Structure 1
Amino acid sequence: MNSETQKFRLGLIINPFAGLGGSVALKGSDGVAAEALARGAEPKAPSRASQALQALQHYADKLVVYTAAGELGERVAVELGFDTRVLYAADTEFSTAEDTQAAVRAFAEQTLDLLVFVGGDGTARDVFSVVAETQPVLGVPAGVKIHSGVYAITPHAAGKVLDMLLKGELVRLMQADVMDIDEAAFRGGTVKARRFGEMLVPAEPRYIQAVKMGGREVDELVLADIAADVIDTMEDELYIIGSGSTVAAIMDELGLANTLLGVDLVEDRKLIGRDLTSSELLEATSGKPAKLVITLIGGQGHILGRGNQQLSPALIRQLGKDNIIIVATKTKLKALEGRPLIVDSGDPELDAEMSGYYRIVTGYRDYVMYRVANPDLAE
């Protein structure tokens, strides 16, 4: 298989600033990359691309990668030792949606076997706007918000799918939704998601995420019961309050202002920090007893790595597994149809360490045991 016509032709485009605003409480990266960098955010998308593509290193002689210059894909592909062909270069340091679209157009001339893109829902939209309907694609999650069903559940899971394809296994294809939200409204605490269309992705339900369930929880009695249980067990320590409407019910019961799509800090049932960044959380809890209250993303099952990148691997290790309180309604858990909860922290070792059974608060003095186990790490 030395002829280039016999090699697997992989397209690669990375949005290097995807998810940049997550750790510094900007809720995304659209239009705020410079501000995020000024606040101390570090780009994570290239490393997440590398995590996914490492699965292909032993197929290097069977693979050619078509990509864009520099951080848009070339650097990662070259570092991993792939036969790399650069077909597009951006004009500016801060790449734009137009750069993603132009790169995908350039790739189209090569008749790709698969197009891999690394980013969030905005990147998926950019690819969707120009890609051919018949072109198989696979998203590697790197954004703050991942509502679209075209992404793998983690970068490592994307690597599993890529490995299956290069092995020559029979991998079915399916149409999956491209979703996105209004980031300006998102930063203001409102989720407005809409469907833009479909793209063709590998049909591997173990590794490809479901489309997120929309809307707020409507069963106020259940949420009030969950909140009452957490509040009754609060001790004299710090409580990191994660994002989401289920967790917001706890703040409502405490009578405290809440950042629905951010992370707050409570001590002695009083609000002492709002919409904190990852570094602020790490500093505020260093050397102090603290607990973290989080919920899951409806329909997907992610408890870390979707909309709460402020909860960094360093913070999770500092807290310890025993100090994590997971709250969820039974309705949300049943909707997973037995699929495990997922951790996508950006640190594969931590993701594996987080595996196991957790007590989920589902009401007042009402709990269920539920498993955290990334399917891509369980084999």
Structure 2
Amino acid sequence: MAMNPLTLGLIINPWAGIGGPAGLKGSDDRSLVAQALAEGAERRAAGRAQRCLKQLQQAQGELLTVLTCSGQMGEAEARAAGFCPTVVFTCEDQVSQADDTQQAARLLMQEGVDLLLFVGGDGTARDVCAAVGEQLPVLGIPSGVKMHSGVFAISPEGAAEVVLSMMSGELVDLRLQEVRDIDEAAFREGVVKSRFYGEVQVPECGHFVQSTKDGGREVEELVLDDIAADLRERLEPDVYYLIGAGTTPRALMDELQLPNTLLGIDVICNEEIVAADLSGQQLEGLLQGFDGKVVIILSITGGQGSLIGRGNQQLTPEVLKRVGRDNVWVLATKSKIKTLAGRPLLMDSNDPDLDAAWSGYIPVITGYRDQILYPLGTHFDQPDMEGVSE
């Protein structure tokens, strides 16, 4: 199976887990951590990071680009595992603090990493959540004392398997998971006070199981209804939605009881038609006079995996730049994704720089409140066929 490149953001909390063997119920209190170190406590985070990173390096190191922090916050362990990382955040103090993790996470998100991998516990998860929220896929390598949040792989090796599954184009679910933490001081007194701090997007390897099934097989008509129901809940007022070609986006139009141009681009706002079957020039003109948010809703071309450039060339580079990658909603049933056998979705906007900038991993809506992460690339071997997005 073909593998796809991936840009990995890495943050290591070098203090994570020190308080566990020492019975400190956590490592948020740095004075107690210092005491534990003085008493001979070992740093656990570095070793657990190594277990994951070495597995990734041995499997697909040449396809992984690692962006990280200086010193013990990532650079040292990435180099020890055989990577040549790019340092995007330098920790000024030898003792990293919560603010360092938050600043690093923000910078890594700005650099456009596909996945933020962090090593730590619930405290580190809180800092990452505060910095990136639901905007960036996040996965934790469990290394803390407290790990009540739903953001952690089952082990360092498990985290590596998730990353490798993403690279191979397998069906990796992307789900919102809670970040929770407990009050360490109260915990030391025997009182458990858990608090909710937010949610982050977490990639999860799962079986090919649908919420809508018939003898274990996906029923496309029912899945399209699920996708349409999900999309309708996502619609916001006063937003322009550009509805792409194909039967999958048409399911939303059917849900809204609106006419649809199967082989064209329609624009809706507040669940009403704004314009139908627009050319690229007409779209550019329409958006030039609109100051609000714009979202593109697209499906992939059946059998090819083309997302942009086949059957929707009305979406010119100017239109795509106006909308932005984060405002593109990709639709596909999991059955159609499986037929790609790991090949990335194709981006062919006729602007190579734009295509390269948009490459990476993108969420794909596959059902009602169900989505996966899947690679978007600039080229791959395709069958000699033309088709309509489905």
TM-score, scaled to structure 2: 0.50
Contact kept in structure 1, 2:165 and 2:205, CA below 8 Å: no
> 2:168 and 2:20 mapped to 1: Cα distance?
35
| Corresponding position of 1:24 | 22
Q: Note if 1:143 corresponds to 2:144.
A: yes
Residue 173 to residue 41, structure 1, CA distance change in 2 (3 Å): same
| Corresponding position of 2:361 | none
> 2:24 and 2:192 mapped to 1: Cα distance?
15
Rg comparison, structure with higher value: 2
Counterpart of 2:194, as a letter, is A
| Corresponding position of 1:51 | 51
Q: What is the CA-CA distance between 1:53 and the residue it aligns to?
A: 1.9
Contact kept in structure 1, 2:126 and 2:180, CA below 8 Å: yes
> 1:33 and 1:142 mapped to 2: Cα distance?
15
| Corresponding position of 2:190 | 189
> 1:70 and 1:93 mapped to 2: Cα distance?
9
Q: What is the CA-CA distance between 1:203 and the residue it aligns to?
A: 2.6
Q: What is the CA-CA distance between 1:132 and the residue it aligns to?
A: 4.4
| Corresponding position of 1:276 | none
Q: What is the CA-CA distance between 1:70 and the residue it aligns to?
A: 0.7
Contact kept in structure 2, 1:139 and 1:152, CA below 8 Å: yes
| Corresponding position of 1:167 | 168
Q: What is the CA-CA distance between 1:7 and the residue it aligns to?
A: 3.7
Contact kept in structure 1, 2:75 and 2:87, CA below 8 Å: yes
Counterpart of 1:33, as a letter, is V
Give SS of 1:186's match. helix
> 1:102 and 1:35 mapped to 2: Cα distance?
27
**Deviations for 1:48-82, whole angstroms, at most 9, x for unmatched residues?**
01112222113121111010001100011111112
Contact kept in structure 1, 2:171 and 2:206, CA below 8 Å: no
| Corresponding position of 2:375 | none
Residue 105 to residue 134, structure 1, CA distance change in 2 (3 Å): closer
Contact kept in structure 2, 1:60 and 1:83, CA below 8 Å: no
Give SS of 1:86's match. strand
> 1:192 and 1:205 mapped to 2: Cα distance?
31
- Greater shift in the superposed pair: 80-89 or 122-131: 80-89
Counterpart of 2:47, as a letter, is S
The residue correspondences of 1:29-40 to structure 2 (distance < 5 A) are 29-31=27-29, 32-40=32-40
Contact kept in structure 1, 2:121 and 2:145, CA below 8 Å: yes
| Corresponding position of 1:95 | 96
Give SS of 1:185's match. helix
| Corresponding position of 2:335 | none
| Corresponding position of 1:78 | 79
Residue 200 to residue 183, structure 1, CA distance change in 2 (3 Å): same
Counterpart of 1:165, as a letter, is M
Give SS of 1:76's match. helix
Counterpart of 1:41, as a letter, is A
> 1:111 and 1:50 mapped to 2: Cα distance?
24
Residue 205 to residue 123, structure 1, CA distance change in 2 (3 Å): farther
| Corresponding position of 1:41 | 41
Contact kept in structure 1, 2:133 and 2:198, CA below 8 Å: no
Residue 205 to residue 39, structure 1, CA distance change in 2 (3 Å): farther
Counterpart of 2:41, as a letter, is A
> 1:56 and 1:129 mapped to 2: Cα distance?
27
| Corresponding position of 1:115 | 116
The residue correspondences of 1:229-240 to structure 2 (distance < 5 A) are none
| Corresponding position of 1:126 | 127
Contact kept in structure 1, 2:133 and 2:199, CA below 8 Å: no
Counterpart of 1:176, as a letter, is Q
> 2:131 and 2:61 mapped to 1: Cα distance?
28
**Deviations for 1:336-371, whole angstroms, at most 9, x for unmatched residues?**
xxxxxxxxxxxxxxxxxxxxxxxxxxxxxxxxxxxx
> 1:153 and 1:106 mapped to 2: Cα distance?
27
**Deviations for 1:292-315, whole angstroms, at most 9, x for unmatched residues?**
xxxxxxxxxxxxxxxxxxxxxxxx
Q: What is the CA-CA distance between 1:179 and the residue it aligns to?
A: 0.5
> 2:85 and 2:144 mapped to 1: Cα distance?
25
| Corresponding position of 1:329 | none
Contact kept in structure 2, 1:51 and 1:155, CA below 8 Å: yes
Gaps of 5+ in 1: 1-5, 207-379
The residue correspondences of 1:250-329 to structure 2 (distance < 5 A) are none
> 2:103 and 2:141 mapped to 1: Cα distance?
19
CA-atom RMSD in angstroms: 1.5
> 2:106 and 2:138 mapped to 1: Cα distance?
14
Gaps of 5+ in 2: 208-390
Q: What is the CA-CA distance between 1:199 and the residue it aligns to?
A: 0.4
TM-score, scaled to structure 1: 0.51
Contact kept in structure 2, 1:68 and 1:86, CA below 8 Å: yes
**Deviations for 1:194-248, whole angstroms, at most 9, x for unmatched residues?**
1111100013369xxxxxxxxxxxxxxxxxxxxxxxxxxxxxxxxxxxxxxxxxx
Contact kept in structure 1, 2:151 and 2:178, CA below 8 Å: yes
- Greater shift in the superposed pair: 84-93 or 173-182: 84-93
TM superposition outliers: structure 1 runs of 4+ over 4 Å:
none
> 1:33 and 1:92 mapped to 2: Cα distance?
16
> 1:145 and 1:56 mapped to 2: Cα distance?
26
Contact kept in structure 2, 1:55 and 1:162, CA below 8 Å: no
Contact kept in structure 2, 1:24 and 1:40, CA below 8 Å: no
> 1:59 and 1:83 mapped to 2: Cα distance?
14
Counterpart of 2:6, as a letter, is F
Counterpart of 1:95, as a letter, is S
Contact kept in structure 2, 1:64 and 1:84, CA below 8 Å: yes
Structure 1 vs Structure 2: percent identity of aligned residues?
50
2:10 to 9, 12, 28: 12
> 2:56 and 2:17 mapped to 1: Cα distance?
24
Residue 42 to residue 201, structure 1, CA distance change in 2 (3 Å): same
Give SS of 2:131's match. coil
